[in-house]
Amino acid sequence: MLLAIDVGNTNTKFAVHDGAGWRAQWRASTDSSRTADEYAPWLAQLMELGGFSFAEIKACIISTVVPQALFNLRNLSRRYVGAEPMVVGEAGVQLGIEVRIDKPSEAGADRLVNAVGAFVEYGGPAIVIDSGTATTFDIVAADGAFEGGIIMPGINLSLQALHDAAARLPRVEIRDPGRVIGKDTVSAMQSGIYWGSIEMIEGLCRRIRAEYGKPMQTIATGGVAAIFEGAFPAIDHFDQDLTSRGLLEIFKRNGGVL
């Protein structure tokens, strides 16, 4: 089995693949100070609930946008999986795609992994929208190359900024308020973030397609994406397994065997 770990700024996702499919997936808050010995019992209990154990995990691959978290997760793989992990972005780990931007070294590991996962499952050209701490729009070419994109504040980050900067604005749940015109502070904020996000996504997808000049399908992933599923036609596919799929493909492209 393969343990695939994707470290984001807010959450870390652990997924286990048995060669035929994903056996389990779990999320934890990203905490770069959490040690391998703290992760291990938590994961062991979850694995037991899933009907398997650490002894069955034979390999590990890690993608992280939080460099300080890598040390402890590398130790997790070494001590409890018994294997040196593949780390996306390190020398010798090939993505199998071209990175066509001015400074390829600046492309986040998560964005590149998403590009691989999207191309394997859906082909290209494509727009990949990842809703997390930041909301990113990434372009995957017809041949699978990563061609850049857009980075902007994520939905939760925007709400947090409103709450922090305005003394009388509360924390609110992200959901469809049922109407555009809010009748109180909470519904006004919910309308702004919900419908504002939809209009932003639709508008940026429209501008990307116009600039790119070719038909493109759109794939959405990330922790917040499910809130908008079915709400508007700009998204062709909602895929919460996209990053895990990309990690699995990179593992295979580098000679990994399950």
Which residues form the catalytic set? 110
Closest CA to 97 of 138, 151, 38, 40: 138
Residue 148: enclosing H or E segment and its boundaries? strand 146-153
Q: Is 28 exposed, middle or buried (0-12, 13-18, 19+ CB in 10 A)?
A: middle
Count of alpha carbons within 13 angstroms of residue 14, beta-carbon side: 21
Instruction: Give the whole-angstrom CA distance, residue 146 versus residue 157.
Output: 26
For every residue of 17-62, DSSP letters joined together read: E-SSSEEEEEEEE--TT--HHHHHHHHHHHHHHTT--GGG--EEEE
Using the 8-state DSSP alphabet, how is residue 205 labeled?
A: H
Residue 178 makes CB contacts below 8 A (sequence gap 6+) with none
Residue bearing tokens 């590990």 = 60
Write the CB contacts of 120 (distance below 8 Å, at least 6 apart in sequence): 245, 246, 249
Inter-residue contact 27 to 85 (CB < 8 Å): no
What is the sign, positive or negative, of the torsion defined by CA atoms of 39, 90, 103, 212? negative
